[in-house]
Structure 1
């Protein structure tokens, strides 16, 4: 399975929108401050990054993490029919505002696409219908896009994704219970509990918890509810995260070397890009190994 082309970034068909519209602050991720709407000094006249091959070395790691889920080329090629924010300064502010709305819609569309893959029956149909509704919203004119109430949309989509997650994780957990010998089943449950994970049918949840720097090497968190969990710089080497819900989990500088993420729910490419890993990490098939991850 792979996300459709319109939900994958294509910088060749965009005009450097993320390099101009978005703000960032001097930090470990960015070498300097930039205000929203101010073009990055590294952005060339052709709307290309002048230091793309050296971003991490030049202190711009944050740029390598960000992805727009195809919103950049959609705004450039469809919403504004090829017009450039450089050539139409009177529309620049509007274009940048619309870009932030489209990016959120496209991210939700990507998550709903995955939900359609993973859910079954009526829940799969509901996910497909919600995806179709948001796809139509993404086709609105700029003024209509700016009038959208994105917050309530995110809440509604989030609730649907939570129900899909519960169904998928329960199904995966039932499969593990049926296939594993009793002594291994009880050991896995204990490991998940120690890691702050959750068996879909009960127990505590690690969702939203602070696990910054946690020592979770080799932990069995299969099927865990890790939605919104702070896993910054956590040691997840060799961890079992199969079918874990990672929606919104903060994986900045988390070590995923050798981790098993196959079937992880609602993990996005930007989350992976923010983490550390290697070629031994096993990923969901619709995601790619980040360029800065070594093969071994």
Structure 2
């Protein structure tokens, strides 16, 4: 069980640290300069509200600084946390941005399904994609999602909480039973998965409570800090104490014999007719 929990925590951490970047436009094509407004307000550098009960109006203005026309096929709105995508909406909106020109498009953004996908603050991007799903340009913002606690993101945080609690429990039970390694560094590594899980739970909790969005510059310090604290605690745990040797030797079911009674006077012949007391 402990290894399974540690593996689950390690997979999430690997996704956080090694999350793949989306494909970019082909070499030689200058990225489009994109401006996005939601209900008439620019989303860049501010927190926008996404309410599943409302339909928002999204306006995209793309400027092409290059010498070749760029053809847009899709507009993608996606929310990411811990290098995992928790919601994504693709809208087919073909248009062309001429060389050194500008094009604007407006369309309704229907996010009714968002209630079951996410909740809280999530880093969100609006990107323009071509026919091969290469990114031509885009902007990033933070969305305040008015979703349900039982959404995919909320259940993910709850599952991480349960796994982290089990990881701490297995490590502490091993400590109480003196089953940890005598080597301090191995004891520190035993507590590492619990620390990483604690950091991940902290990141999700801050996001769901709408305190801090789970951006990379926030996620990594919190996770690494919690992991370091857990390793220090494991390093400082007391050395496992071996079980005390029994003071008496068991003889039969209900009879014990003190080892001192086994002394025999060499000047006397031992009486072999005596029997052990019952």
TM-score with structure 2 setting the length: 0.29
Q: Find the structure with the greater CA-based Rg.
A: 2
User: Which one has the bigger strand percentage?
Assistant: 2
User: Which one has the bigger helix percentage?
Assistant: 1
TM-score with structure 1 setting the length: 0.27
